[in-house]
Structures are given as C-alpha cells and as structure tokens.
Amino acid sequence: MNSIEVDGLSRTFNGLQAVDRISFTVEAGEVFGFLGHNGAGKTTTIRMLSGQLRPTAGVARVAGCDVTTEQERLKPLVGVVSENQNLYERMSGRENLAFAARLYGTNPGRVDEVLRQVGLLERANDNVKHYSNGMKQRLLIARALLHRPQIIFLDEPTRGLDPVVAREIRRLVVQLSTEGVTIFLTTHYMEEADELCRRVAFLSEGHIVALDTPDNLKLAHGQKSLKATLDDGQTLTISLDDEVAGKQLEELVSGGRLRTLHSTEATLEEVFIQIAGRGLSE
Amino acid sequence: MTWRVIAAIAQKDLIDAIRNRYLLIALLTPLSIALLMRVLLPGLENISNLTIVVHDPDRSTMVSKLRAAPQIKLVDVDSAATARAEVEKIKASGALVIPPNFDADVAAGKQPKLTVYVNNKKNNIEQGGFRRLVERQVESLVQRPPPAEVNWINVHEETASPAEREFNLNHMLLPLLLLLAFGMTGAFVVPLLLVEEKEKRTMDFLLTSPAKLTEVIAGKGLTGVVYSVLIAVVLLALNRQMIGNWPLTTLSILLGLLLVVAIGLLMGSLFQTTMQVNTWASLALLVLIAPSFSFPGAPVALETAMRFIPTYYFVEALKLSMAGTGSLRMCGYSAIVLALTFVTLFAVTWTLRREQN
C-alpha cells in the first residue's frame, strides 16, 4: 500500500519553476530519500505534500488525502521536521510540546512519552534557547511524533549536528521505520541516505532525474572491479567482468602477498554527480 | 474555526509575550504612566468630583441644589462641631455649616453667617474649585435682578455639542491613556506576535498543524484583546470617577480595542521582520493616539484631518460616554464607523495572509 502517491506535481513562484512535473510513490513504512542540491525543490515538495503549499499543477495523495482539497484531514496524519529549527525559544521543551498537544488535541500525557523517547525528559523544563542544536533537533522530532502521525517528513534532520548526535537521530529514524511510520527524508549526506533509505530519488532543478534503491543506482553507475593493495605497496585493479579475475584473486590470496582488498563500486555521491552534473555541496 | 486551536494559540502568546522584554515594556508603559500621574498629581481626578461635608439641619435650598449635582458628593454630619473633624477624617474638599433658618434669613435680608471649612492640604486646583463652587452658590441666592444683562457671543461658530463642552481637560487623560495602551497593543504587540512567527519560521509549524490561517490570526487577535481588556480594566479602576455612563463607555472601549487589534493584525500581515515593525510602529502609534489630543475649538483643518484616523471615532464615542450626557444615538455613528473599520481590516488581513501563503 502506498502512503504517498505523486503524479505530475509542479509549483512555480513568480514564473520560476521550483518543482516540475515530478511523479513517484512511497510505500507504507518505507524510508524514502529525496536528494538534491540547494534550491532543487526538496523543501517545496515537502511543503506541498504536508499541506502547507498549494501545487500549481498535478495531484498528490498523502495518507489517502488529496493535498490540495483535503488539507484539514491530512494535517493530523503527518508530522514535519523543518530544516529550520522552528521552536519557541522562550518556552521550555515541555511547553513547546504541550502547546503542540493542545493544537492537535493530543492527550497531554503523551508529552512526557515522546520526551523520554528522544532522551530529553531530564531537560524538559529548560528554555529551548539553552538547548544545543542536537537537543533542538530531537525536540523537533518529538514534536513531529507527538500526535502519532502515519508519515513523517524530515527535512535535513542531521544538518550541522556532530556525528554522535547525527547517529542518534538516524537511530530514531530506523526505530520509527520499524514501527511502521513512513519516512520522507531529505538530506545532503549521501552516506546517510545510503544507510537509511530503501529507495532514493535524485532531484535536480525541479526534476526527478533518478529513482531507485541505492544499491541499484550504484551498480548501474559504478565499475564492477576490485582494488587490491599488496605487501610491497603496489596496487592492482581487477575487473570483475574479466574472465581471469577469479584466478587472479586466488593467486593473490594463496601467495600471501595481499594486504587489503576493496570493491570499487561508485558511492551514491558519485552516482549523483554523474546524473545531476554536480555534487550536493556545490 | 476551532475554538480549541484559537485558545491554544492565544494561551501560548499570552505567556510568551510577557517573557519578551520588549513586548512587556510595551504593555506596561500606559499603566506606568497612569500610576505615575496618580503619584505626581494625586488630586487630578478630584477637580470635577468634590466631596463636601455638610451640616444643614433645616435642609436649605442651596444644599438641595448641590445634592442634585452628579459630580458632587455630600456627606452629612449631625453637628457643626464635627464638620471640621469629618473633613480631615474623610479627606473631603471642605465643609459647609448652614445655620438654622438659613433660607428664611436670606429671604429677609438678614445675611446669615455661613461657615466654610477648606481642606488646605488639597492641591490648589481642588481648593480653588471648591471656593468657586461656594461663591457661585452664594451669588445665586441674591434675589434681585442683576444690574445688567450680559450677552456672551462666540466670534467663531460653536462646533462642539453640549455633551462635548462638558468634557474638560481632566477627561482628556483617560482617552489618552486608553489610546496609548491600545496603540501599544495594536502597533507593537499584535504585529510582533505575527511577525515573530514568520521570522522564526514557527508559522510553518502552525500551518502544518491542524491550525488554519484564520485560527492563527484569530488567536493573535484574541491575545491582543485579552491584554487590552486587562489594561483597560486597570485604567478604568484607577479613573473610575471620571465615567458618567458605564455601559456606553464599555461599548466604546470594546469597539476601540477591536479596532486597534485589527490594525495590529494588518500590520503583522504586511510586515515580514521585527525591524520593519519597529520602524513603522512608532509612527503608527503617533497617528493612532493623535485624536486623543483633539479638543473643542480645535482648528477646523485639524479636526477634519483627524476624522480620517479611525481612532478619532473611538475618542468621540468615549468623550460622550464619559461625560455621562451622551446617548447610544449620539455615539451610534462613531460605533458604526469603528465596527465597520474593524470588519474591513480583519477581512483585508485574512486576504493578505491567504495570498502570501
């Protein structure tokens, strides 16, 4: 069953085509990566799919709701973690969530549940302005989880976070996915997408230029070869398409000269550069 | 619209606003000025509201006339000896000791002796007001016709109504303080509540939540209304003796505060940053409070210019209702203008925000 169905979705701003006839589906419980450089149209797509922005053309159904005509029914079914840390800084973490709970009509007891889930219960009464970036990000995720949405949109959830906190956020994403929540993730970090996403879509200048599993994309655009480093420092590239590759490998291993052996398949970033023409950080 | 959502937004803003030092100062400024004026000018509110101790065993005509005046409070005492002590005890403006057979003695031309105690601890304005009152009452007892009839004619046509003429300088204070309070809420607090949501991108969160745009605007408006009502209640309590007609005054204040809140919502929709609000809010505040400085006999051009400021109609309605002589019919025009302006501003705000989205 599909959680998200998008067909020919477009959005223009003052004549500028931000998103141009994109189509894709996301299955229930799937972690779906939406990758692209700045200004590619990722956030605009999230805003359309979460009911914040009306599409100029095309249709999209999220959690069974038409994003144009059924926004009010859609909103309680989705949670959004914005790329901006849009929290009320003069309020405490608990007050931020209590306010969200009142908006959603959620049981106030749920506030402490999600605070515990993201590891912020101890600091719940501190003002948000005293939180670190990582704590703010966890609070944003807690707010998005508060009303038990079917789908969560995560817009650059680990941007600017230190590796330990980023790993914690990724752990949360995996946990949510195993609980059946559909995750729509945008990220600059290709390793993150590779690790978390069942499928990824590459977005470039408002168009989807590739959509598949990370493995398929890497296989389709990478080389089938191995790189061997020998004891004397010499390196060898062994093409797996070569008929003698097996024999070469056997000789290296039995000869005891092999120090390291690596596959040379493309990284997701290299695939993106090949397809989109430039890297994510450019 | 869902009341739960509007109430949640208003509740959040009521708490969040007072944690913002800038907004807190804007809210407290009019109250501080009101309290400061009471400390610096303690007798100001008593200029036209005199408390007089009276010993009048034979119920004289002069005291009966005073008893009928709405702005004079008479406190009766049993004996002439206690009048002076009562003045000190209740901090009255003064006391009148009317001798027995006063009316008959006046009619017989016997010049009865009227003893007047003046509370000289009161400020000069109040003492002067009390002395003039007594002198006028005594002069009115003279039965013979005046030696000449004086015909007073204004050089310029009188534009103020009788009710407006009753509105004295003292009564300018309350409209000014109320307009200042409402202006602060309208020009600073409400726009900043909206602009801050945009600037800090929390508006994105609100619009992904079940809150509709109209509910967000209504929530901000409700916050402004609650703060304005609280401030108005305090200001009215501090100046309660100035109010002649409470129901009309309450209606005028309600319409006035709705108007300035709608102006605030419009400003909040037009501006995108706190800096823009800060730049324009002071100018807006000056324009909003300008009508409270208008007075009977002001130049026609100034009076005409003021009519283009919506708060002019608030001041007009308030003047009439405070004087106690205005009726709903007299305040009706101002009330209709205020109500229509409020509805128009709210509709423009809603349309603007919808288009921005």
Go through B285-303 and write b for each residue having 16 or more CB atoms within 10 A of its CB, e for each that does not.
Answer: bebbbbbbebeeeeeeeeb
- Number of H helices and number of E strands within chain B? 16, 4
Q: What is the pLDDT of residue B246?
A: 82
Q: How far apart are CA B64 and CA A92, in angstroms?
A: 65
Predicted model pTM: 0.75
SS3 B9: helix
Distance CA B54, CA B51 (A): 10
The ipTM, to two decimals, is: 0.84
What is the CA B241 to chain-centroid distance, rounded? Answer: 10
CB pair distance less than 8 Å for B8 and A90 = no
Burial class of B135 by CB neighbour count within 10 A (0 to 12, 13 to 18, 19+): exposed
The mean pLDDT value for A24-33 works out to 95
To test the contact with chain B by mutation, choose from A99, A130, A145, A147 the residue with the greatest count of B C-beta atoms within 10 A, namely: A99
| Phi, psi (degrees; rounded to nearest 5) at A39 | 85, 5
- Torsion over CA: B129, B132, B138, B144 (sign): negative
Q: Helical H runs in A11-146?
A: 42-49, 71-74, 93-104, 109-117, 133-145
Q: How far is B186 from chain A (nearest CA, A)?
A: 22
The residue type found at A1 is: M
Of B24, B19, B34, nearest in space to B180 by CA: B34
Listed residue (B80, B73, B85) closest to B96, CA to CA: B80
In Å, how far are A124, B75, B171 from B45, measured between CA atoms? 50, 19, 9
- What does DSSP assign to residue B45? G
Tell me whether A80 touches chain B (CB under 8 Å): yes
B204 touches chain A (CB under 8 A): yes
Contact predicate A150/A181, CB 8 Å: yes
Mean pLDDT, rounded, of chain A: 90
Contact B16 A90 (CB under 8 A): yes
Question: Own/partner pairs for B106-111, CB < 8 Å, 24+ apart?
Answer: B106/B141, B107/B143
A-B interface: how many C-beta pairs under 8 angstroms?
64
Half-sphere exposure of A282 (CA within 13 A, CB side): 8
Question: Which of B15, B19, B201 faces A86 most closely, judged by CB atoms?
Answer: B201
**What are the pLDDT digits (tens) for A191-246?**
899 999 999 999 998 999 999 999 999 888 877 788 888 888 888 888 887 778 88
A14 touching B (Cβ < 8 Å):
no
Task: Please answer whether residues A268 and A194 qualify as being in contact, where contact means their C-beta atoms are separated by less than 8 angstroms.
Answer: yes
Question: How far is the C-alpha of B100 from the C-alpha of B94, rounded, in Å?
Answer: 20
Angle between helix B274-289 and B190-199 (nearest 10): 170
| pLDDT per residue rounded down to tens, chain B (357 residues) | 789 999 999 999 999 988 988 888 888 888 888 788 777 665 554 455 688 999 998 888 888 888 877 678 889 998 888 988 898 888 888 999 999 988 888 888 888 888 899 888 887 767 777 887 888 788 777 766 666 766 766 665 655 555 455 445 556 778 888 888 898 888 899 999 999 999 999 999 999 999 988 899 999 999 999 999 999 998 888 777 667 778 888 888 999 999 999 999 999 988 999 999 988 988 999 998 888 876 666 778 888 888 889 888 888 888 878 766 666 776 778 888 888 888 888 888 878 766 765
CB A90 within 8 A of CB A127: yes
The answer to whether the CB atoms of B210 and A103 lie below 8 A apart is yes
List the beta strands (DSSP E) in chain B: 50-55, 72-76, 94-97, 115-118
**Beta-carbon neighbour count of residue B37 at 10 Å?**
16
For B39, how many CA atoms within 13 A lie in the half-sphere containing its CB? 6
Looking at the DSSP assignment, which residues form a beta bridge with residue A22? A9
Name the residue in chain B with its Cα closest to that of A149.
B209
B351 and chain A in contact, CB less than 8 A? no
State how beta strands A151-155 and A78-81 pair. parallel
When scoring B3, B20, B203, B205 by the number of chain A Cβ atoms within 10 A, the one with the most, hence best to mutate, is B205
Contact A105 B357 (CB under 8 A): no
Q: Do B210 and A76 touch (CB under 8 A)?
A: yes
Q: Which pLDDT score, from 0 to 100, does residue B343 have?
A: 87
Q: How far is residue B43's CA from residue B175's CA, in Å, rounded to a whole number?
A: 18
Contact A97, A111 (CB under 8 A): yes
Alpha-carbon gap, residue A153 to A184, rounded angstroms: 5
Predicted confidence at residue B356, as pLDDT, reads 63
User: How far is B54 from B69, CA to CA, in rounded Å?
Assistant: 15
A-contacting residues in B 6-25 (Cβ below 8 Å): 7-9, 11-12, 15-16, 19-20
Nearest residue, CB atoms, B209 vs list A47, A53, A104: A104
Query: CA-nearest residue of chain A to B20?
Result: A90
Q: What is the DSSP letter of B169?
A: G
Contact between A102 and B11 using a beta-carbon 8 Å cutoff: yes
